[in-house]
Each structure stands twice: as C-alpha cells, then as structure tokens.
Amino acid sequence: MIDWSEVVREHGPLVWRIALRLVRNEPDAADCFQATFLAAFQLAARESVRHWPAVLTRLATARSIERLRSNLGPSRQAEPLQEAADPRISPVDSANSAELSEALRLALGRIDDIQAQVFCLACLDELSYREIARQLGLKESHVGVLLHRAKAALRRELQVFAPESPTTTEARP
C-alpha cells in the first residue's frame, strides 16, 4: 500500500517547481500539482512505480504543457514571477531575459506535445537521453530526434529573438 501523504511530502516540492516554472502562475501551478498526483494515483493503481521522481517529473511536465496549451487563448495572461533584482544585470538585459523566457514558455505550448516534453526534460530538468527514454517509453535515438525537432520548432517560434544576420554592406566609394 502506497503512503500517499509521504509521496506528496517527499516529492511535492519537485512537482511544484516544475509546474510553476512552466505555467508561471500559482493557481495554474496548483491545478497542475493536483492533476499530477491524480495521474500518479491512477498510474500506481495499474502498475508498480519504481522511481517516483522520474514518474512525477514526466507527469508534471505533461500536465503543465497541457495547461499552457489551454491558456494560449487571448483571454488568459500568465502572471510574471516576482524575482529579486540582481544588481549585476542591467534592467534592459533583465527585461529582455524575461521577455524571452515568456516567449519560450508560450512556444512550448504551441509545438508538438512529445517534443515539448522531451525539450523540458532534457534542457530544463537536465535529464539524459537514457533517462528521458525510460520515462517516456521511447528509444534513446528517438529522444535525440525529438529533441532536435523540438529545438528546430522552437527556433522557428522564437526567430524574432534571433540576432539579425549580418547584411552585406554596400561598397564604399
């Protein structure tokens, strides 16, 4: 019998960080938190869970991306996280970073679901291809392909943030 209060107490902070990082507001993060543990409960009823952090990371990432997709409409705007100002970072750089972060978060909601999950697990959670493959039931080589496709899709989505390519200058007299 699974002690759910222990599972939530031990792994709840991990689930909360993942959800809040992606959805960027506490009400949606709370919904993702509950949906994650409900999905974990349903999963545990069907099969044995050997590694809770891996399962909960995958479930929290998937639920958060689902929430992002549902929030993409114009009627909902994400609340920015309040962060302490770093005196070493200029206000302009800080604003640019926040804008890019928000654009990335929204772009993750627009790309293919499995690609978004692989990107989050690899680039945000820093899991290896092997760990991602195990969590998502994929081959390691397919993880690499999905990550490549996710990066390409995100590059297209975020091209407005790319530095302008050097233009040819006119010949000077």
Local confidence pLDDT in tens for the 173 residues of the chain: 889 999 999 999 999 999 998 898 999 999 999 999 999 999 999 999 888 998 999 899 999 998 988 876 544 444 444 444 556 766 666 666 777 788 888 888 889 989 999 999 999 888 899 999 988 888 999 999 999 999 999 999 888 877 764 544 444 44
How confident is the model at residue 154, as a pLDDT?
Answer: 92
How confident is the model at residue 160, as a pLDDT?
Answer: 82
How confident is the model at residue 136, as a pLDDT?
Answer: 86
Lookup: tokens for 74:
């114009």
Residue among 54, 62, 53 at smallest CA distance from 114? 62
Q: Which domains, from first to last, does the chain contain? A: 1-72 (1.10.1740), 95-158 (1.10.10.10)
Q: Read off the pTM.
A: 0.66
- The DSSP result for 79-98, as a single string, is PPPP-PPPTTS-HHHHHHHH
Separation of alpha carbons 27 and 164, rounded Å: 38
φ, ψ dihedrals at 162, nearest 5°: -70, 140
119 CB-contact burial (10 Å; exposed 0-12 / middle 13-18 / buried 19+): buried
Q: What share of the chain is helix, strand, coil (3-state, %, to 5)?
A: 70, 0, 30
How confident is the model at residue 28, as a pLDDT?
Answer: 93
Contacts of 11 (CB under 8 A, 6+ apart): 52, 53, 56
Lookup: tokens for 2:
């699974």
Compute the CA torsion angle 145, 62, 41, 13 (nearest 10 deg). 110
Residue among 107, 98, 114, 87 at smallest CA distance from 153? 107
Instruction: Look at the block and give the residue holding tokens 């590059």.
Output: 155
Integer CA distances (angstroms), 11 to 19, 33, 44, in order: 13, 11, 15
Separation of alpha carbons 23 and 81, rounded Å: 10
- Length of the chain in residues, anyone? 173
